């Protein structure tokens, strides 16, 4: 009887830690993994002519794609090369055009 109580007591002491791990998984780890998957699928789906915003805030149109690099035209006859992973998001044509005119 005493051995059963000691085993139950040890399990009850570990229960809060297990609950904290579950909460951390669903509130921190899982959303981060989903965001990483979305970002990777966006980077894989890039194509020529897409208007994008880099993580540094540059708007441009993709003029050349390589496995790890992207060439963007940010103004007439002004092209920059960057890492593919530095593309932050793909934007609609009108949004990039309006911003570049301002």
The Cα–Cα gap between 91 and 50 comes to 8
CA distances from 34 to 24, 71, 84 (A): 15, 27, 19
For position 95, what pLDDT does the model report?
52
Question: How far is 3 from 64, CA to CA, in rounded Å?
Answer: 70
pLDDT value of residue 99: 52
Whether the per-residue pLDDT at 81 is higher than 70: the answer is: yes
pTM: 0.68
CATH topology of domain 46-101: SH3 type barrels. (2.30.30)
Using one digit for the tens of pLDDT, what is the confidence trace for 6-63? 667 888 889 999 999 999 999 999 999 999 999 999 999 999 999 999 999 999 999 9
Q: Is the pLDDT of residue 93 over 80?
A: no
């Amino acid at each position: 009887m005493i051995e059963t109580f000691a085993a139950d007591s040890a399990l009850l002491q570990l229960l809060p830690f297990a609950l904290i791990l579950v909460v951390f998984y669903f509130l921190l780890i899982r959303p981060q993994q989903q965001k990483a998957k979305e970002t990777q699928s966006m980077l894989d789906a890039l194509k020529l002519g897409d208007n994008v915003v880099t993580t540094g805030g540059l708007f441009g149109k993709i003029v050349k794609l390589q496995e790890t690099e992207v060439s963007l035209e940010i103004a007439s006859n002004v092209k920059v090369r960057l890492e593919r992973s530095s593309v932050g998001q793909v934007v609609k044509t009108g949004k990039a055009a309006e911003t570049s005119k301002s």
